[in-house]
Amino acid sequence: MNIKIIGVGKIKEKFYRAAIAEYAKRLGRYCKFEVVEVPDEKAPENLSPAQMAAVMEKEGARILAKIKEKEYVYALAIKGKERTSEDFAAELNQLATYGNSDITFVIGGSLGLSPAVLQRANQQISFGRFTLPHQLMRVVLSEQVYRAFTIINGLPYHK
């Protein structure tokens, strides 16, 4: 199975990079795991709705350029469906069983994901209604993917 996380912007904080690297190392026994960063669009604080849409469209085009046609795509979105860790693990396992072995997760920038990216996604997933920094969300997502594989493989980590 191939798992890819596409995120907008670079992770500058060393502790976030270290956490993601740790989960990437752990995931190495279960899948090919990759994090792809696309440049964020500079956006001042007080943008008009049209300027916000333009920023999301530019970031969305960069994201879509990194997604292949065969990939099964989860868009992380507050309005997405929430799951338990066990449900998430079962879903990933079922996707792999039925031939979806290339799974991509997309984390937007500070303004969220463009309509084009949401439309390309096979599903929207939510980790709750909190707003989290996208750098931290990459860590949380990496951990949940690792947790899913430990559940699938009957390991005690997930308890």
Report d(CA 22, CA 6) in Å as an integer: 18
Q: CA 132 to CA 20: how far, in whole Å?
A: 16
Helix (H) or strand (E) holding 35: strand 32-38
Residues 137, 19: contact at Cβ < 8 Å?
no
76 is in an annotated binding site: yes
Residue 108, marked binder: yes
CA distance 9 to 55: 13
The owner of tokens 């084009």 is 116
DSSP letter (8 states) at residue 39: P
> In sequence order, which residues have a C-beta less than 8 Å from that of residue 144 and are 6 or more positions away?
85, 88, 127
Say if CB 96 and CB 1 are below 8 A apart.
Answer: yes
Q: Which residues are known binding-site members?
A: 76, 108
Annotated binding site for S-adenosyl-L-methionine: 76, 108
